[in-house]
Amino acid sequence: MQDSPKYWKGIEELENSPEFTKNAFSEFGDFLPMKEAHGSSDATVAPRRDFLKLMGFGIAAATLASCETPIRKAIPYLNKPEEVDPGIANFYASTYFNGSDYNSILVKTREGRPIKLEGNPESPITRGGLSARAQAAVLNLYDKGRLQHFTIKGNKADKDKVDQEIRTKLAGATGRIAIVSPTIISPSTKKVIAEFAARYPNTEHVMYDANSQSALLRANGGVLPAYDFSKADVIVGLGADFLGTWISPVEFAAQYVTNRKVSSEKKSMSRHYQFETMLTLTGSNADVRVPVKPSEMGATTLALYNEVIGGGSAGSSKEIKKVASDLKAARGRSLVVSGSNDVAIQTLVAAINQSLGNVGTSVDLTTPSLVRQGDDARLLRLVNDMNAGSVGAVIFYNANPAYDHPLAEKVKSGIAKVPVSISLNDRLDETGALCYYACPDHNFLESWNDFEPKRGYLSLSQPAISPLFATRQAQDSLLIWSGNTKSYYNYLRDSWRGVLAGDFQKAWDKAVHDGVATGTLAPATQPQLAPTMSVDQAVSAVTASPKVTGVELCLYEKVGIGAGGCEANNPWLQELPDPVTKATWGNYVAVPRDMAVTNKWEQNDVLKVSVNGAKPIELPVLIQPGQAKGSVSIAIGYGREKAGRVGDSVGANVYPLAVVRDNSLVYSNVVQLEKTGATSPIAQTQTHHTIMDRKSVVQEATLAQYIKNPKEVTEYETISTPDGPQKPNKVSLWQDYEYKNHHWGMSIDLNSCIGCGSCVIGCQVENNVAVVGKQEVINRREMHWLRIDRYYSSDAHKEDFEEKGKLATYEAMEHPSENPSVIFQPMMCQHCNHAPCETVCPVLATTHSSEGLNQMTYNRCVGTRYCANNCPYKVRRFNWFSYYSNEKFEDVNSHMFTDLGRMVLNPDVTVRARGVMEKCSFCVQRIQLAKLEAKKEKRRPKDGEVVTACAQSCPTQAITFGDLRDPETRVAQIWRREDGERAFKVIDSINTQPNITYLTKIRNRDKSEFNA
């Protein structure tokens, strides 16, 4: 009899597909296909030529080994900068904003080259957290796909010549001049653009967002409200993926989790309802999630509006009634957000928040957010004007509408009709390649800039490296063209005068040092072209919207790739598993299970997706639990053609499937799906590295249970002994270690972990983890040291036994849920005190340290892989190839191949060779560094000084790391406080005694799950 929720990693597991069962019990996928090149029929016979090759190699290697060691040079500075010491990292405060999420960052540089981005704890907005995209942005600096010089018609050109020609042509331009950009939150850049507009009076600045929020802006009078999720006890999300991609996910995640953390002192948490089509990161974290088709979103919002404001209507579902009553009970302490780009829906949501009294508490209209300012109508008008020939010149500043706009074809034809087209994009992308001139912008790590993500909150970015290529900062280009000889740095400084109080030089230095400041420079926002809507109009618009028949398509943004900017060419992000589907390298059609069953589609079957009037696209099927019935979802941001070697032709571009309706973009449509007969495997990671048993791996309980008795929310396993059931650690074959100096330990709060994947990238950057590419992920050989396991659990409840009867309930449990609960669990080396891997290594390459670390010594490893076979947590990774020199990986792992790319590697961590095992080291290089700093200062390390890359990057502080020997550290306190309550070790019964403890997830849900 099962008394805990049934967890499953994916559909394959629940159905026990042959593929899954074959792989579940083998640590490694197929062995290396040695013979693939010969096409030999008999794989067991080594051909004579192989023998000769090996002989030849042996002789050559022996000769080489006896040669002289190569001469190495040591080249010092000519004039060493005072603050740079070789071997010591310098940190510079800066800002990452790429038209999507805003992050205040610290740039870690070694010998003058940026090697890692970390969160800036000084920032009141991101509070030291960092999104996965921002973590990976450091690699964009060393991207070979960047345009390295100015061009005219794609040919290298001299800067001065380009400037001269552009100035002449701009002066003589007939018709409007348009500057097209994504949202710009830099006040000084806007000033530069205003100056440009003053010089060329016909100039219009058009901002648009690849994943538009125009409707939200329109519904709130042209401003984006600032939300505070920490002030909401009841949160209702209507298709807004606010933890993953919507507006400012890092900021929202930190707020959201403050009100979700529980402890024996604080036994309360917010309740989160989510109505959405695709199972998003946010929906996975919701307490109650309701799948809704895109076309029903309006009706759902209206029903909620009626329940909250009006007297309610009989037609409302029981979920809506429940949500409305919860909302009304939490007046002023609730929040409703919608991700829809339909102004009617946004108007209703604004009205709901207004009537609940949330404006002023969780919704702030006085200090609005500025990170989305795009106006769909403006770009649409520009596209029409370009095609009509009334535009004299167009400048694209980091904007790529020839790719990321539904009307990309019209944009392309329009650019051809504009006499002067200039691209300031960092590469010759889809738009840049069509422009006559290309004047590439610096990377953000090479530039000065300022940002105002929210009115009153300023931040700066400063160059952390000299420009790598012959590029020029876009603002400088605009200044030069408008005849201003001032450099942008001086321009920026001057525009900050008067904002900073006190002595300017001092205040400026402090602002540069901290990276953030208070004060406002934001100019008045542009008025929206399309008119606002009254609530009555909105109600009638929603009511009047036609009934949709057919399969609905929902377009969504992925956490890693986003809208497909320069992230597309970033192999780290391409290989970052999607938090929910765990798919890497490409997009797919997510379909609900019943639709797949009805149409006899199987996972990986390629479907033709066609919309009336658009070119059909072909993508494989992914069966996605939680996908709303009658709908499918596809991610935007893929199918780039000119992103670079990594990003080109990964997945398919679905922007053309979006529609333009009433001057705004609608990211849903009705589609026809047709099986093509081909298959295309999706590189999913979830069923890889399957843990031996699910019971006692993840644990969860409801808030009600937790309030009743915190000691009963976690199930502790016991083992049978002659003296009755005992804790597993009562019986042991091993001797215990005694830790005299330090005992490093970690705690991971499953209640705070939202599964965003920031830690995965943080770990990858810090530890030089190789990228392996799509085929190797399919071969189950990804190298991530830290993975986030996503488990679905059945939605059967204990009460179902009474309601539906036992047999029916059990039968229901046999089928995968249509709308399962999701739980995320970061999984890395558990640093067991009784480590099974250590005992089986024949060469002692993996050993235990006197500080509790499970050490992996690469130079000793001979690659027997016994350790990985014996690891119950499946966290060891084997290097099947030389990922840094095998040309098979040159495209995906390019940063380990070229001198330019290698600049991003962490010089304190070895790049592992082929044939050795590797795994999480608890960032031992950071531990050693922090210890050394303490020793130099003749003291013990303080709590918070020793921190792993994953703990540091976590936006929600779910991961805590520290010294368990020191009772004052946070991690030691958590271990003590939660012992017997929420703290549990994964697979405790085998008594490996991990140094990582997990805290049981608590859901704020009414019905109790299957749990003791």
* Interaction of residue 899 with other proteins, rule CB under 8 A: no
* Interaction of residue 37 with other proteins, rule CB under 8 A: no
* Interaction of residue 858 with other proteins, rule CB under 8 A: yes
* Interaction of residue 938 with other proteins, rule CB under 8 A: yes
What is the rounded distance in angstroms from the CA atom of residue 681 to the CA atom of residue 982? 39
DSSP state letter for 291: E
What is the rounded distance in angstroms from the CA atom of residue 463 to the CA atom of residue 113? 11
Residues 6+ away with beta carbon under 8 Å from 899: none
Q: Which is nearer to other proteins, 78 or 807 (CB)?
A: 78
* Interaction of residue 266 with other proteins, rule CB under 8 A: no
Number of residues that bind other proteins (CB under 8 A): 46
What is the rounded distance in angstroms from the CA atom of residue 837 to the CA atom of residue 876? 9
> Which token pair is 204?
């219009």
Q: Taking CB under 8 A as the criterion, which residues in 500-529 touch other proteins?
A: none
User: Burial of 586 by CB count in 10 Å (0-12 exposed, 13-18 middle, 19+ buried)?
Assistant: buried
Q: Could you say which of 857, 869, 870, 989 contacts other proteins (CB under 8 A)? A: 857
Residues 6+ away with beta carbon under 8 Å from 872: 691, 692, 836, 987, 990, 992
Using the Cα atoms of residue 443, residue 446, residue 447 and residue 448 in order, give the sign of their dihedral: positive
Instruction: Tell me how many degrees the CA angle 615-621-622 measures, rounded to the nearest 5.
Output: 135
Q: Could you say which of 1, 71, 314, 807 contacts other proteins (CB under 8 A)? A: 71
Smallest separation, CB 765 to other proteins (Å): 16
Q: Could you say which of 22, 53, 80, 976 contacts other proteins (CB under 8 A)? A: 80
* Interaction of residue 735 with other proteins, rule CB under 8 A: no
At 239, the amino acid letter reads G
| C-beta of residue 311 within 8 angstroms of C-beta of residue 205 | no
Q: Could you say which of 169, 695, 860, 970 contacts other proteins (CB under 8 A)? A: 860
Distance of CA 719 to the CA centre of its chain: 41
Query: What are the φ/ψ torsions at residue 415 (nearest 5 degrees)?
Result: -60, -40
* Interaction of residue 850 with other proteins, rule CB under 8 A: yes
Smallest separation, CB 884 to other proteins (Å): 12
Smallest separation, CB 509 to other proteins (Å): 14
Q: Which is nearer to other proteins, 84 or 470 (CB)?
A: 84
What is the rounded distance in angstroms from the CA atom of residue 633 to the CA atom of residue 810? 30
Query: What are the φ/ψ torsions at residue 445 (nearest 5 degrees)?
Result: -80, 0
Q: Which is nearer to other proteins, 83 or 723 (CB)?
A: 83
Smallest separation, CB 967 to other proteins (Å): 13
Smallest separation, CB 922 to other proteins (Å): 9
Q: Which is nearer to other proteins, 248 or 846 (CB)?
A: 846
Q: Which is nearer to other proteins, 439 or 911 (CB)?
A: 911
Smallest separation, CB 858 to other proteins (Å): 7
Q: Nearest 10 degrees: CA dihedral of 624, 627, 632, 633?
A: -80
* Interaction of residue 73 with other proteins, rule CB under 8 A: yes
Q: What is the DSSP string of 251-263?
A: HHHHHHHHTT---
Smallest separation, CB 915 to other proteins (Å): 14
Q: Which is nearer to other proteins, 547 or 936 (CB)?
A: 936
| C-beta of residue 636 within 8 angstroms of C-beta of residue 514 | no
**Long-range own/partner contacts, residues 542-546 (CB < 8 A, 24 or more apart):** 542/298, 542/299, 542/301, 542/302, 542/344, 542/345, 542/348, 543/302, 545/295, 545/298, 545/344
Q: Which is nearer to other proteins, 214 or 768 (CB)?
A: 768
Q: Which is nearer to other proteins, 71 or 733 (CB)?
A: 71
Smallest separation, CB 894 to other proteins (Å): 20
What is the rounded distance in angstroms from the CA atom of residue 182 to the CA atom of residue 371? 10
Smallest separation, CB 334 to other proteins (Å): 49
Smallest separation, CB 66 to other proteins (Å): 7
* Stretch of residues binding other proteins (CB under 8 A), selected from 78-86, 295-303, 351-359, 442-450: 78-86
* Interaction of residue 851 with other proteins, rule CB under 8 A: yes
To which residue do tokens 């792992």 refer?
893
* Interaction of residue 604 with other proteins, rule CB under 8 A: no
* Interaction of residue 148 with other proteins, rule CB under 8 A: no
Q: Taking CB under 8 A as the criterion, which residues in 287-306 touch other proteins?
A: none
Contact mark string toward other proteins, 914..933, x via CB under 8 A: -------x--xx--x--xx-
- Judged by the rule CB under 8 A, the positions of this chain that interact with other proteins are 65-66, 69, 71-80, 85-88, 740-741, 847, 849-851, 853, 855-860, 908-911, 921, 924-925, 928, 931-932, 934-936, 938-940
